[in-house]
Amino acid sequence: MEQAVDGMQLPRVLVGVATYNERGNLAALVAEIRTLIPAAHILVMDDNSPDGTGALADSLAANDSSLHVVHRTGKLGLGTAILAIMRYTIDNQYDLLITMDADFSHHPRYLPDLLRGMDDADVTIGSRYIPGGGTENWPWSRRMMSRAAGWLVRLLLRMPVRDASGNYRCYRVSLLQCANLDDMISHGYSFMQEVLHRCWLAGARFRETPIVFAERRAGRTKAGLGEITRSVWALLRLGWLARFRKASMMPKEPRRS
């Protein structure tokens, strides 16, 4: 379903933001998204954040009919939150979905570039690893880890993408519909690579647009070693499934043009 504005068909865009303890960032984020892409709807998928992010989202939504809030019962992880956002865009017939983190690591200033990238792509990726992109204030260890993950992904999954692990992306919803997301095996950090791989198997055209990833603006970091180990394991499993083209990886129906 598309909106008609001055005779032009504009795509219905949803910006989906998963939140857990982002009370210090949410209001400013919503305001900046509104300024940059006023026609877009925003969905906050909150996991009963102890800091009251969900209640804040409700109070913002009370005066804003294009801000939607879904409350889940507790912390179920970023991967399942993004999946729930994707299902919401399918159920509510949006055309394009932009996913981003709530902590300003993904600055809203790149939103117009992501949308422009969709002129000739099915997934536009905010990329740290193409010219013009980068990371700000990352310690040497985190940079090395991210590079190593990128190398592993290229080796195992052989996708034509420089940055397969970020959550700052724009997806064509019709493509998500046939990307067989119900069979996802990853829930941690490897979730992002698996989504991209399933889109690729479903025939997606990729484009990357540069972003500079900044450290979170407010709130405490939650990244941990256990999660990284689980994700490397999931990536190896994914590589194995991809190599032997297991049925659970294949698209549900032929790609619609």
Query: Contact positions toward ligand GTP, by CB under 6 A?
Result: 18-20, 22, 45-47, 75-78, 81, 101-103, 105, 216, 221-223
Task: Pick between residue 78 and residue 202 the one whose CB is nearest to Mg ion.
Answer: 78
- In Å, how far from its chain's centre is CA 158? 20
Q: Which does 18 bind (CB under 5 to 8 A by kind): ligand GTP, Mg ion, none?
A: ligand GTP
For residue 188, give Cα distances in angstroms to 115, 116, 126, 194, 249.
26, 29, 19, 10, 18
Q: How far apart are CA 52 and CA 66, in angstroms?
A: 21
Q: How far apart are CA 149 and CA 235, in angstroms?
A: 9
CA terminus-to-terminus distance, the chain: 16
Q: Does 105 bind Mg ion (CB under 5 A)?
A: yes
- Rounded to the nearest whole angstrom, what is the least distance from the CB of residue 224 to Mg ion in the complex? 13
Figure out which of the listed residues 68, 154, 205, 216 binds Mg ion, where binding follows CB under 5 A. 216
Q: Which does 222 bind (CB under 5 to 8 A by kind): Mg ion, ligand GTP, none?
A: ligand GTP
Task: Pick between residue 40 and residue 81 the one whose CB is nearest to ligand GTP.
Answer: 81
What number of chain residues touch Mg ion (CB under 5 A)? Answer: 4
- DSSP-based three-state secondary structure for 10: strand
For residue 6, give Cα distances in angstroms to 39, 94, 156.
14, 20, 47
Cβ-proximal residue to ligand GTP, closest one: 221
- Rounded to the nearest whole angstrom, what is the least distance from the CB of residue 80 to ligand GTP in the complex? 8
Q: Which does 247 bind (CB under 5 to 8 A by kind): Mg ion, ligand GTP, none?
A: none
